[in-house]
Each structure stands twice: as structure tokens, then as C-alpha cells.
Structure 1
């Protein structure tokens, strides 16, 4: 495949991921309107352990299969990739089935350790068990579907993965919203029933995505077989050696992908018990948990997705510079990657923190504004840490030092586990946010150290730029706070409609302030001028910062 087609395929896949993430964000607003924060909490009680077990069932193998198949295809050995794919379907089927059984039968244990059996308010253990078991069925399908996607990608064919991801998400969301609305508002059903069927949407969506892949497979199986028959070589690698090589690719990918689910898993088993010991009732605990793990979490992923997407586009050049031992070029691209992530995520997180209450009110309503707004205000700055961790982990993969990303993840998770209950006892519900921030800060420190050591990267210039970005973000935050206060004097935040007036005005003010400072100082031109040509016309800051 030509480089042009490869780039086109990568862009298609990136667009599909962005669309899927966007849909996954948007649907949470009507879903929360139907089931409330207690429903979001119940949904999380099922979805968090499902996500962890899914990651363990697949172990990053689908992406590793893509790399493995691509490698041997390039060597003219299509037969080895086919053997891996055929055996991989069996392996993924078995691991998916084992994961399904584990989650299905452990559901009562998980629910009993999450919820207070003596508190009759809030979600019940029976509802949590039902929810966990409903989502567990998806484990029978998703690992196999992921492997098929990896095989297509190994042939540099991104279309099947892209289309199936979007269809999977659309089918899942339609099923969730339609069925929960019918159960609660038309059939007057129970919240636990509605949320249980909502998590079952993961299985229904997976069936939709798998159906798309099978259509593509039926159309292209002749072409795949033709490649196999025309193989110029056959390495005849034993399956054991094949899987050893596969796991070398897969494990670092798997561990880094487990980051957020593992942090949320710790919250799942400690958050409720810690708040219960402080005297919180189960109904209130459910609301805080729903706001933390679902509502606020979805919002802070907006700046994470934007910043990460723009910075990751540079990573192939980082790999190229490292492989070719072009040290100066490597330094420039690492600096550029860091700068983009900081330039975009710091002001976004600052603005979201300052505007936490109107933002939450506009998107989720005013019913639980005190809870949701409080969590979001403290959680928003953690978006910067999420972004930096994702990018530094990718940079380590680019310089072939993936093991340090795994070490970083383990150090962060250990710190989160050790401090979560303690911080909650000290600071209340937001203590879990602080423990997450501390864990990610620890992980980033390990990643940054490894990049500095093995890429011989100096942070002096970046530190100066970070101070400048931080100063601009603080100035923007003060300006946004002032505008917010002035607008609310004329239009108090008494109903949801007022938030839709307040939010655009204050966001516009923030963009104007930060944009003015960034452009006039030349910082925007230095960081984003290669992407937005008009910025190059502005005055540039010196290379010394």
C-alpha cells in the first residue's frame, strides 16, 4: 500500500475514533436526564469492572495483531498472519468466555463490596448484580470483534474498523436511550431494570459492529486468500513463539490502556465505603459516585481528546527521528508534542474548573448541581494530567521504552490505592479526585524522567514555555470568573435556560483572553503556526522563551 493510502487510512481511523468518542460523550446528557445521577452510578457499578475484564481478556492483542500481521505481510509471509488470526479467534473466544463467566458469577461479590447492605436508600445490591450480569454478556463478542479489526488493520485496511466502531456506538446509544426511556417513562419500570438493560447495550452494539466486520470479511476473503497463496516465504513459526512475540507487542499497550479503568476500579471498591464511614447515606453516595465516574469524567475528557489528538499526530515523526538517530530533530518533536498538549489542555481545564457550575447545569440540569458542580470544579484540572500521561506514554513507545510506561502506571495505581480512602476521610468526596491527581502526577514523573534519560531530552525550554502558558491560563481564569460573576448579577443561574446564556458568553470571553495573550506574545505562532498558517504572520517569541 502506498504511503498516501496509508495516511488516508490512518486519518479515517482517527476520525472514526473521534466520532465514537464524541457520540459517547453526547449520549450521556439525555441518559442522565432519564436515569439521574443514581442511575449513572449504577451504570458505573457494572461498566467499570466490565472494562477492566475486557482489557484483561484481550491484553492489547488486537492492536498487537495489527502490528504482527503488518510485519509479516511486509516480508511476503501472509500465511503466518493467517495462522495467527485463525488461532487468535479461538484464543479470544476462550478468554472472552472465561471473562464472561468470571464477571457473571462474581457479580454478587462485587455488588456486596460496593454497596451498603444496611442502607435501604439509593441503589440496591440486587440492581447492581443485575446490571453487572447484563453487561458481562458483551465479553462473549467484543474480544473476537477486536481481533478481526486488528487483522484488517494489519493489511492497512482501516475502513472496516472505522465503520464498525461508529456503527457499534450508534447501535449501542440508540438501544440505551430508547429502552431506558421506554422502561422508565412509558412502562413505569424500575430504575435498576432500565440501567441493567442500558449496560446490555454494550452487547447489542457489539453485535452491530461485528455484523459490519463480517460483511467486509465476506467481500474481501477471496483477496485475503489470494495473498496467502501468493506468499513468497513461510517462516513456519511455532504458535508458542508466535504468541511470545505477540505478547511483547501487546502487554505495554494493554497496561497503558488499563490506566483509567484501574483508577476507577479502585474508586469502585473504596469510594462508597469511605463516604459511608463519614456518615453519608447510600442515595447521596450514589450521586457523588455517578457525578465523579460518569458525568464529570465525561466532561473533562473533552480537552483530553482534543489535545491528545493534535499531539499524537506528531508521534510518527518522533519514532522516525529516534530510529534514524536524528537527535536534534527528536528534541524538536518532543518539545512540540509537549507544547501542544500543554497549550491546549491547561486553559481548557482552567476554564472548565472556573465554569464548573454553569457547565454542569447546562449539560446535566440543576437538580444535583451542588454535587456535580463541586466534583467538576476539582476534577477539571486533572484533565491536564490525563493528557500528559497519554502523550508521554506514547512518546516512550516511540523511543522503544514502553516498559517505563508500565512502571509509571503501576506506581500511580499503587499511590492511588494507598491514598484514596485516606484522602476521602480528610477531604470528603473530592478526596478521590486528589488521589487520582496524585497517582497520575507520580506516573507522569516516571515517564518524564525516562524520556529525559533515554531521549536525552532537556526540559529547560519547555519549563519556560509552561510558565508562560500557566500565566496566560491564570489571567484567562480570572477574566472568566469576573465575566461569570457580572453576567450572573444580571441573569442569576436559577434555571437551565439561564446556563445556556451564561456559558457561551463566559466561554467566549475565555477564548478571547487566552487567544489574545497567545497571539500577541507569539506563543501561539511558535506552537501551532505549523497547523494554522495565519498564526505565522503574528509576532513570534524568541526560541529562548
Structure 2
């Protein structure tokens, strides 16, 4: 019964997370149309430091608290989890307020790190950037409090409050962003800087919506929870320092690995524009490239990553059980399956995005900046494979209680990114940021893959063979897609949104048919996904019948 409740809750939470990510992607299309690429750059100037400080303020609290509360609830000690919850609300309120003050006060000092001599004449002004950072900083007061309430509910294997509050938070945020920016720019003829400043304030408004949902759940369940606390069979009487020592041991690896992408982007934020301006780009050109690289194109490459990890992540929790029980055979099968799903889904997605970068960007963001957007996306698209692979290998290591290697891997990758980013940008212009990100992630993945091989005694022979076959199929798919794409563009040049959409849809259909046909005929798709999609095993059935 408990297992089915946990599985149901996990599925609900996964669906809510996916819905939130989709909402977080879709709104960007009309938002970009309203504020333009320069506005997107300004938006990221505020959001990137906010994301990093938020992660530091919360330190992976929801998952860590849920693990702590679940552990002591299982021991019949509801009192200890409740004490952590009450003290945690105070601690999170203080840490959130401190993070808000830090970001608010440091806003003027951050600007020179981002832009050399910011000017409103050709890009975002000093005051616009300061205003944006300060507006988003207010959300730090509320979000950490939400994180501990969510974690406490999850400790009771109740995922509903987290799921509903996540979706409500995102809906409120997106509606506020689009409504306020449209009103300021289109109705009031206000500046882009003012519109983006209020847009990032949407993080605070959305957080209020999410907090209201959590408080409704709390007051509905408070009586039942307090009854369980009073009826606790035991009380470990842990001191607060002992509780937080245990909590931090759970939280640090979770929070640090989750910071991977924001930290890589933060390095770009403080080096990208300054370096490009130093080699001759104007502020406006540098900001447009940065907006595409860190915002619009970046959002596109997260789509296949979300799909891949949604399918593979269900395997990861079971790895902990297999590793703990020393069931090596089952552990090998689980890791093999996880790797295969990631390879099978993200390699063709990365290749497809790269090949169709121009019609993809034009369809999602319009044709105005398609030359820059398509150019960056073409070379940046393959990183979706590396993002997915690092996320999954880090999760596997956490399941094996070897999370320290995931942290070491991330630190090594960040050092490579930090050391090479300016140099690469100087050599290759805007694509230098892409190259440095590739180098950093390659180093990180080499370490995580090695650690899994060593501590799980995992053999990569089959994965290498399957990976080479998937690469071959993706290469054949790419040839077919390129032919169709170029042929369609001679008839329908990318001069309008409708042309871009038609070119994209037809090219995607052709590419998907080629890849799926090769996967089906070779039975590769059946071997990798057959347990999830039974029809893919059709070839095997025919063979058995004959």
C-alpha cells in the first residue's frame, strides 16, 4: 500500500514538474515577441544570480527535509520531524531574507561584471540592470519558506501539495509576466527595462500563489499531523545542531549538483558580454548573442533533456535498493537501461535540433533574429545530450551513495569552464561560450562515468555498441532531414513564421520516420523501450510465431 502511494505520488509530482517546465518554456515565446532579445538578456541578468542565491539559501531543502522526516516518521518519531519543520521555517525565513539583502545590495556591483560601460542608447542601461536584479531579489524572502513546507509534506509521502503549488506558482507567474509586460510595452508605451523589471517580479507574485496553496493544505491537515506528533511512539530528542548536521549531509550533494547549469550560465554572464565587447562587438550585438545563448536557444535544448530524464528517472530510485542489497546483476540492468534510454532519445534530438536550428528558432521566436538564433542553436544543440547524461549519471551516483564524485565532477567541469571561457570567446566569438561549456561537461561526464564503472563494477561494452548504432541511425536521419529541409527552404524561404512552421513540421516528420523505422527494423527500439511501449516488440513476436 505504501509503495503504491509513493509511486502514485511520484508520478503526480513528475507530471506537475513537467507541466511547470512546459509552462516555463511556452511563455517565453510571446514574452520574447514583446521585449525582444535585448529584453531576454536583461531578464537573464536578474534571474541567473537569483537562481544561484536561491539554491544557496535553500540548499536542496525540499528533498533533504522529506528524507529526514520520512526516516523519523518510519521510526514512529513524528515529533522530531515536526521540530525540524518548526525550526526550519525560522531558519529558512532568515536565510531567505539574508539572500534577499545580499542580492538587493550587490545589484550595482554586479552590473560592471556583466557589461562594459552599459548604455541605454544601444543596449540595457546600468539602471535597468540594477532595477531588474533588485525586483527579482524580493522573491528570495518567500521561496525558501515554501521549500521547507513542500519538503515536510513530501516526508509524509504526500506529493499533492508540492505538485499543485508548483503548477499554481508557475501559472500565476506566467500570467503576471505576460499581462504586465504587454500592458507596459503595448498599452502604456513604456520602456523594455521597466517591463522586464516587473516581469522578473513575477517570481515573487508566483511564489505568493504557491504559498497560498501550501497554507490551505497545511490548515486542512494540521489537526491530523499534530495528532500523529502527540501519539509518537518514540522521541529521539535530537538537539537542533544534530538535526541540522544530518539535514545538511542530505542536502549539500542535492543542491550542488542541481546548481550545475545555473553555475555554468553564471560564468557566461560575467564573461560573455565583456569579452565580446573587448574584441569589437557593440553592446547591443553582445547582448543579443548572450540572450540567444543563455535564454532563447538554451530553453529549446532543455526540451529533449526533460523528456529523456522523465523516462529514465523512474529507474534511478531503484538503484539505491539494488546497491544497498548488493544485487549486482539487477544494478547492471538498471544502469544499462538508464544509459540506453538517454542515448536513444537525446542523440537524435540533439542532431535534429542542430540540423533544423534555423526553422526551429524562426518558428518559436519569429524570423527577426533567426540569423543569430539559428547560428547559435546549430552548434549549441548537442549540449542537450551532455546535460541529460550528467544529470542521470549524477543521480545514479547519488543512488549508490557516491555523490561526492558527482560534486568532484561538477567542480572539475566548472573550473574548466571558468579557465577556458574568456579564451574561447576571444578565439571563436559567441561560439566560444558553447565550446567552453562542451569542454566543462565532457570533463564532468568522464569523471561520473568512470566512478559508475568503478564502484558499480559496470562494463560499458554493450553501451558503446548501442551508442555507435544510435549515432549511425542519427547520422542517416540527419542526411534525410537536411535534404528535405534545404529542399523545402527553396520553395518556402524562412521569411515568415508560416513558412518556418511548414518547413519544420515536414522536416521533423521525415526525420522521425527515418529514425524510428531504423530503430524498429533493427529491433533497437524494442530492446531499449519495449518494456514501456509493447508495440515496439512486434518484430520479436513475428519471429517467435514463425
TM-score above 0.5, yes or no: yes
CA drift at 1:328: 1.0
In the alignment, what sits opposite 2:49?
49
Cα contact 1:351–1:477 (8 A) shared by 2: yes
Residue aligning to 1:427: 428
Partners of 1:85 and 1:127 lie apart in 2 by 39
2:22 paired residue number = 22
TM-score scaled by structure 1? 0.98
Residue of structure 1 equivalent to 2:409 = 408
Q: Does 1:40 align with 2:53?
A: no
1:439-497 deviations in Å (ceiling 9; x for gaps) = 11110011001000000001111111100001111111111001101111222222111
Q: CA deviation at 1:505?
A: 0.2
Residue 198 of structure 1 is matched in structure 2 by: 199
Once residues 251 and 202 of structure 1 are traced to their aligned partners in structure 2, the CA distance between those partners, rounded to angstroms, is 24
Identify which range, 274-283 or 109-118, moves more after superposition. 109-118
Q: 1:402 and 1:227 mapped to 2: Cα distance? A: 33
Equivalents in 2 of 1:378, 1:479: separation in Å? 19
Mapped contact 1:521–1:539 kept (Cα < 8 A) = no
- The equivalent residue for 1:98 is 98
Per-residue CA shift, 1:325-355, capped at 9, x if unaligned? 1111111110100000000000001000000
Could you tell me which residue of structure 2 aligns to residue 321 of structure 1? Answer: 322
Corresponding position of 2:270: 269
Q: Which deviations, in whole Å up to 9, do the C-alpha atoms of 1:344-376 show, x marking residues without a partner?
A: 000001000000000000110011111111111
**Cα distance in structure 2, aligned partners of 1:62 and 1:110:** 29
Tell me the residue number matched to 1:64: 64
Aligned to 1:141: 142
Deviation digits for residues 2-31 of structure 1, max 9, x if unmatched? Answer: 211111111111100000000001000000
Structure 2 residue aligned with 1:501: 502
Q: Distance in 2 between matches of 1:316 and 1:63?
A: 13
Provide the C-alpha distance between the structure 1 equivalents of 2:539 and 2:146, rounded to a whole number of angstroms: 49
Q: Deviations over 1:296-337 (max 9, x none)?
A: 010000100000110111112222211111111111110100
Question: In structure 1, what is the Cα distance between the partners aligned to 2:536 and 2:231?
Answer: 51
Shift of the alpha carbon at 1:62? Answer: 2.1
Residues 80 and 234 in structure 1, CA contact (< 8 A), matched pair in contact too: yes
Deviation at 1:539, TM superposition (A): 4.5
Contact 1:45–1:128, Cα closer than 8 Å, also in 2: yes
Matches within 5 A, 1:532-543: 532-539=533-540
The separation in 2 between residues aligned to 1:437 and 1:277, in whole angstroms, is 23
Contact 1:168 1:208 in 2 (8 A): yes
Q: Distance in 2 between matches of 1:53 and 1:2?
A: 36
Please name the residue that 1:354 is paired with: 355
How far is the alpha carbon of 1:515 from its aligned partner? 0.3
SS in structure 2 of the partner of residue 538 of structure 1: helix
How far 1:135 moved relative to its partner?
0.1
- Distance in 1 (CA, whole Å) between partners of 2:343 and 2:431 is 24
Gaps of at least 5 residues in structure 1 are none
Shift of 1:235: 0.2
Task: Give the Cα–Cα distance (whole angstroms) in 1 for the partners of residues 125 and 223 of structure 2.
Answer: 52
Q: How far 1:186 moved relative to its partner?
A: 0.2
Report SS of the residue matched to 1:458.
coil
**Counterpart mapping for 1:154-173 below 5 A:** 154-173=155-174
User: What CA distance in whole angstroms lies between the structure 1 residues aligned with 2:118 and 2:219?
Assistant: 54
Q: Distance in 2 between matches of 1:290 and 1:491?
A: 27
Deviations 1:137-173 (A, max 9, x none): 0000000011100000001111000000000000000
Q: SS of the residue aligned with 2:201?
A: helix
Partner of 1:312: 313
Evaluate the alpha carbon distance shift between residue 522 and residue 229 of structure 1 in structure 2; reply closer, same or farther with a 3 A threshold: same
- Please identify runs of 4+ aligned residues in structure 1 that moved more than 4 A: none
Q: Is the 8 A contact 1:115 1:124 kept in 2?
A: no
Residue matched to 1:13: 13
1:484 corresponds to? 485
1:249 and 2:250 are equivalent in the alignment: yes
> Map of 1:82-231 to 2, 5 A cutoff?
82-117=82-117, 119=119, 120-231=121-232
Query: Whole-Å Cα distance in 2 between the matches of residues 421 and 22 of structure 1?
Result: 33
The answer (yes or no) to whether the contact 1:412–1:438 under 8 Å persists in 2 is yes
SS at match of 2:429: helix
CA distance in 2, matches of 1:493, 1:87: 58
Whole-angstrom CA distance in 2 between matches of 1:277 and 1:162: 46
- 1:520–1:539 contact (8 Å) kept in structure 2: no
Go from structure 1 to structure 2 and tell me whether the alpha carbon gap of 1:118 and 1:214 turns closer, same or farther (over 3 Å shift).
closer
| Matched-pair contact (CA < 8 Å) for 1:96–1:143 | yes
* Alpha-carbon distance in 2 for matches of 1:15, 1:408: 29
Hey, what does 1:4 align to over in structure 2?
A: 4
CA deviations 1:490-526 (Å, max 9, x no partner) are: 2222211101111110000010000011000110011
Alignment check: 8 A CA contact 2:118 2:124 kept: no
Deviation at 1:118, TM superposition (A): 6.0
Root mean square deviation, CA, Å: 1.1
Task: Please name the residue that 1:75 is paired with.
Answer: 75
- For structure 2, the residue ranges without an aligned partner over 5 or more in a row are none
How far apart are the structure 1 equivalents of 2:252 and 2:473?
39
Q: 1:380-399 deviations in whole A, cap 9, x for unaligned?
A: 00000000000000000111
Judge conservation of contact 2:367–2:494 (CA < 8 Å) in 1.
no
Deviations 1:95-133 (Å, cap 9, x if unpaired)?
Answer: 101100000000001012211216541111110000000
